[in-house]
Amino acid sequence: MKIEQAFGLALRNSRTERNLSQEKLADISGLHRTYISLLERGAKSPSLITIFTLAKALKVKPHHLIHLTEEKLSEVDT
Amino acid sequence: MKIEQAFGLALRNSRTERNLSQEKLADISGLHRTYISLLERGAKSPSLITIFTLAKALKVKPHHLIHLTEEKLSEVDT
């Protein structure tokens, strides 16, 4: 699994845990819904700034999103 | 302080803690020394992939670099 795919899974999990639609997350974060969809599918790699923006909108710490990403990566590697 | 400046400080601290020069970190990571210098000065925002690449070269977890970045940001905010 690629790093951006693992991030996409981490993002989708965090979003659905908060019962947010992609549209709602787009509203809160100020990012475009299409961009959020691309991130969740691992088709785009977010910048540091985008990671912080998404974390704020999801009310989690940015390092938590990255930690989740590492977990998704290791689930496949092991 | 901007997020990329906080990341730059986190990167510089992590690098100097390991007694690595920018040249040596460039060698290990495969990134250009000039790019590492720009990141440390907060002039560039790294992508998710670059964060993982730097963390691997520094032998830290990627979320540790982001946690350090959050700490640098909060030091100034409070």
Q: Does B77 touch chain A (CB under 8 A)?
A: no
ipTM rounded to 2 decimals: 0.91
The answer to whether residue B74 scores a pLDDT higher than 60 is yes
Walk along chain A (78 residues) and give the pLDDT tens digit of each residue. 899 999 999 999 999 999 999 999 999 999 999 999 999 999 999 999 999 999 999 999 999 999 999 999 998 655
Which residue in B has a C-alpha nearest to residue A2's C-alpha? B49
Average pLDDT, chain A: 95
**Residue B53 pLDDT level (bands cut at 50, 70, 90):** very high
Q: Does A48 touch chain B (CB under 8 A)?
A: yes
A47-63 burial by CB neighbour count: b if 16+ within 10 A, else e? Answer: bbebbbbbbebbebbbb
Distances (CA, A) of B68 to A1, A5, B12, B50, B75: 26, 24, 11, 16, 11
Smallest Cβ–Cβ distance between A63 and the set B48, B52, B67 belongs to: B67
Whether residue B67 lies within 8 A of chain A, CB to CB, comes out as yes
